[in-house]
Structure formats: C-alpha cells, structure tokens
Structure 1
Amino acid sequence: MQDSSGGYVVHEGCDHIFFVGFLGAGKSTLARNLGVLFHRPHVDTDRLVERALGKTVAQVFAEDGEAAFRDAETRELSRLSARKSLLVSCGGGIVERPENCELMHEMGAVLFLDGDLADSLRQIRCPERRPDLGTAEHAAEVYRHRRPLYEAAADLTIDIRNKTFEQVAHEAGQLLWERGLL
C-alpha cells in the first residue's frame, strides 16, 4: 500500500472487502454507504448473479434450483478478481461453498456482520425475494447452520446487536480504516 499524490491510499493487487452475514444484516447498505464515504465502488453478488442470468434470485431458485444459483454465484465471485478495491456485499449463503471463502480470502478481507436471527428477520423488507428463507423454523435452521461458516470465513467481525445502522457504519469504517483496508 502506498500514498498517492491525491491523498488517497493506493492498494497493490486485489484488495476487496467482502461483507458477509445473515439475510437482513445490512451488508448491502453498509457496502453502498462506505463506498460513497471512502470513494470506493461497491457491488452486490446477488445483483451480479441476477444480471448474469437475466432473472431474479427468486426466479433462479424456483426455475433452476439452488445449485444453479450457487454455481452462478461462484462464477460471478471469481470474476471480481479482475477488478480492484471493491466493497462487496455478499449473499447470505455465499459461505455455503468453501471455494467461495477461499476466493474471498485470495481477493481481500472478509468482514462478518454478526447479529441475531430475530433482528435479521425484522430488517427483511421483501421476504418473497429471499427464497432460502422459507418459514420461521427453516430460517432458524439456516441461521444455525451458517453462523459458524460466517465465523470461520471472517477476518474481522462486528457485533451489530442493539446498534443503529449509523453505529455499525461508524464502527466498520473505523475498523477497516485502522487496518489499512480503506
């Protein structure tokens, strides 16, 4: 990393920051807002898959199945290696495949937004767009399965429980800045 003439930090190589966590944790909003604040582009893996396949996530799950979605997710994730300095909001299930976790670590750092299931469910505005959520019981099962996967993938973790979005954004920005990642 070096200081460029404009006062911005210039990172060498692929230096993405990947935001992981359960559905509704605020990954997309955080990536978008930190992107604006720190002048870094942001992408969302679910939107990348939707563009690549020409279907919504819900349509892919319904018409092609979860495996087809996960295959496309891995393809889109691997394509990010050709880009630089992205803030990447990851779909909640990206940690389901170990190869995705390896790709993220090869390309940058992983920040886990650690929250409670109940908080996540309250934040989800369009549950019909979340095909892997299902019933409350199924959501709890998915959460219990994925939480250790998020923990294992994380380079950094922020506990988002009982915090406003502003508090989480401030903490994430400060932590990433202090580590030289922003």
Structure 2
Amino acid sequence: MTKENIYLIGHMGAGKTTIGRQLAKSLAVPFYDSDRAIEESTGVDIPTIFEFEGEEGFRDREQKMIQKLTQLHGIVLATGGGAILREENRKVLKENGYIVYLQCSVERILERTRRDTQRPLLKTDNPKERLQRLFEQRQPLYLSCANFRIDTGILKRKTVVNRILEEYRAVN
C-alpha cells in the first residue's frame, strides 16, 4: 500500500520543522507542524497550554490534532517530540503514513535549543539531565514506529532531505 504522507518524529530540536518544510517544498505538498496547528487552533502558545493544562492537557490536544491531520492526504507533518508517547498517536501515524525518525544527540539538541524559551520540558535547572531522561523514555517508541531513521545532528539539511526522499520513493 502506498503511503502518501510523510510524518517526522524525533526529539525536540532534531529538525522536524526545518526538514519538514524542505521535504514538503521538494514534493510540492502542504507542510503541517502539529505544535503550530495546536497554537493556531487555541490562540495561545504551547508554554501557555502547559502552564494552564499541564502536560496531560497538552497531550490531549496533541492527540486530537494528530488524529485530524493524519486524515489529510499528500502532506508532510512534523509532530511534537512527545507525540509518540501515546499509543493511539503511534497507531494512527503508522496506519496513515511513512514515518521518518530524525535522530540527534543530546549534546546537539542542547546546542540547538539553549536560547529557545518555547520548550516547557527544558525549563529546568538541568536541561541536559532532562533531555537524557526523555531520550531513554522515548527512544524505544521512536524506533518502534519508524520506517526510516536518519541522524540530523551530523548531516547537512539538504543531505537529510535528499536521503529521506530517496528512501521514501524507494518504498512508494
């Protein structure tokens, strides 16, 4: 069965939005970012949702948005880093698209996110320790649903996009 959607999963700061935009442009298809879609639908940013509803409230909104976006056809979707935490999200992503896991080291993610104030899970005294725990928790889930994985911490953006396109076209 052909999977016409490409879904990008991976840790925060792995490049899902950046790579997703380039992929969508290369394929001439619409690009969606589930976090941005949640912000647009609620009228507030992710940190505000976390502040008022907690992570669980955010995950509820995220699950509804992923359910909605996976009903679209011919898109590239960048999911939030924790989208794979819920089994229902993993299931709907697997059923409706080709999943690419963008891997990146903790050190590289810390470098990329050090000035970013929009990452509620990194608002802690020890972001490196928090990221390490998130890696340990999420890595098996990313691997369990990925059709393809690529390291975005060591490869140039254009190389990543080209390799994803090669792999995607080889199976579709």
Verify same fold: TM over 0.5. Answer: yes
Where structure 1 has 5 or more consecutive residues not aligned to the other structure, the ranges are: 2-10
Partner of 2:14: 25
Partner of 1:109: 98
Partner of 2:118: 129
Partner of 1:147: 139
Quote the Cα distance in structure 1 between the aligned partners of 2:51 and 2:19: 29
Quote the Cα distance in structure 2 between the aligned partners of 1:122 and 1:116: 10
Displacement of 1:47 in angstroms is 0.6
Where structure 2 has 5 or more consecutive residues not aligned to the other structure, the ranges are: none
TM superposition score normalised by structure 1: 0.86
8 Å contact kept, 1:127–1:133: no
Partner of 2:82: 93
Give identity over the alignment, percent: 28
Q: Does 1:118 align with 2:107?
A: yes
Partner of 1:175: 167
8 Å contact kept, 2:38–2:62: yes
How do 1:17-96 residues align onto structure 2 when only pairs under 5 Å count?
17-96=6-85
Displacement of 1:120 in angstroms is 1.5
Quote the Cα distance in structure 2 between the aligned partners of 1:82 and 1:169: 24
Aligned residue pair count: 169
The alignment partner of 2:154 has SS state of coil
Deviations 1:26-79 (A, max 9, x none): 111111111111101110000111112211011100111111110000101111
Poorly superposed stretches of 4+, deviation over 3 Å: none
Q: Which amino acid aligns with 1:140?
A: Q
